[in-house]
């Protein structure tokens, strides 16, 4: 079996399955590394060789998360070969994936949010970051947002292609609405469908890229002295909503989480809500029983 031809077919398979171009790129990049490492045809790769490949990746100091991405790509490739009628077993076995640490989501405190936004002078940048902070949009979703997705009259945005190519409806807060309105009045005149555009240089008027947005975040983080990234604004929204007693399933829908367990991680950092719920519940408990208080001297 020629692995190069098989990889070309696999790429077409991923595109037919409507995987995002970023997913296709990542799958093919990891598979290319695997193919270059191999010294035997893919049908001769056994689990022992797979273990040696994992050790090789570990020696390159790759993170467990990155290594698991390699394993998922390889597993999917062999599954594709099987579906194509090739008699081959997958060398990736259950239990090969590396254990991952699960750090709690990092969010910004209220004073940090104020410091960060206090340094933003650009109408475009203020609107972009408000969409992350108030609407919970991912940086990729902000970069790919189209003008037609905005419904300012009803105060909502249709995120047509979120993570996993799944759409959802999010709602616009009054301050985010003002920021968008200010930016759109400044943006007027462009026929570009993308909402956020490059404002300077040779690419002026073109859609702003994910990396372009991340660079603006890095600029304001340095300027304000607040250690922040785009995803932290989304984390901040989730934590603030839970602290304000929003239902967890509502937060799940707004963030576009497939599993409630993903959203529940924010509950572990939502300390004010935990404290309020504890105080409320313990009052009920204490009314029923107060050990030791009824004992006479």
Active site positions, annotated = 138, 163, 231, 234, 257, 266
| Residue closest to 130 by CA, chosen among 182, 84, 94, 95 | 182
CA gap 257, 275 in Å, rounded: 25
CA gap 166, 146 in Å, rounded: 16
**What is the distance, to the nearest Å, from the Cα of residue 186 to the centroid of all Cα atoms in its chain?**
29
Three-state DSSP state, 150: strand
Tokens in use for 147? 């003008």
Backbone angles phi, psi at 253, to 5 degrees: -65, -45
| Long-range own/partner contacts, residues 18-26 (CB < 8 A, 24 or more apart) | 18/165, 20/161, 20/165, 22/140, 26/69, 26/73
Tokens in use for 68? 């698991």
Three-state DSSP state, 209: coil
- The answer to whether the beta carbons of residues 125 and 215 sit under 8 Å apart is no
Tokens in use for 121? 């002078």
Scan for tokens 């040779």, then name that residue. Answer: 202
Tokens in use for 136? 């919970």
CA gap 98, 160 in Å, rounded: 33
Residue 31: how many CB atoms within 10 A of its CB? Answer: 21
């Amino acid at each position: 079996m020629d692995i190069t031809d098989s990889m070309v077919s696999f790429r077409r398979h991923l595109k037919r399955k409507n995987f995002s171009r970023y997913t296709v790129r990542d799958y093919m990049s990891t598979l290319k590394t695997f193919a270059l490492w191999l010294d035997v045809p893919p049908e001769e790769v056994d689990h022992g060789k797979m273990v040696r490949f994992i050790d090789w990746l570990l020696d390159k100091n790759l993170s467990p998360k990155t290594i698991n991405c390699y394993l998922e790509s390889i597993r999917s490739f062999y599954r594709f070969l099987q579906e194509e009628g090739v008699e081959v077993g997958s060398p990736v076995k259950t239990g090969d994936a590396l254990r991952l640490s699960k750090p709690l989501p990092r969010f910004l405190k209220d004073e940090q949010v104020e410091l960060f936004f206090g340094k933003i002078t650009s109408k475009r940048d203020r609107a972009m970051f408000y969409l992350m902070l108030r609407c919970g949009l991912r940086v990729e979703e902000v970069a790919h947002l189209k003008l037609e997705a905005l419904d300012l009259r009803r105060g909502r945005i249709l995120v047509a292609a979120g993570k996993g190519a799944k759409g959802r409806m999010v709602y616009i807060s009054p301050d985010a609405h003002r920021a968008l309105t200010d930016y759109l009045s400044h943006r007027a005149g462009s026929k570009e469908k993308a909402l956020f555009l490059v404002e300077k240089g040779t690419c002026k008027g073109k859609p702003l890229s994910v990396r372009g947005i991340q660079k603006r975040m890095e600029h304001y983080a340095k300027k304000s002295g607040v250690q922040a990234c785009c995803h932290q604004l989304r984390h901040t929204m989730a934590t603030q909503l839970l602290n304000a007693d929003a239902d967890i399933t509502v937060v799940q829908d707004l963030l576009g989480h497939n599993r409630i367990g993903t959203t529940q991680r924010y509950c572990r950092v939502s300390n004010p809500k935990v404290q309020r719920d504890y105080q409320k519940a313990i009052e009920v408990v204490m009314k029923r029983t107060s050990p030791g208080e009824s004992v006479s001297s």
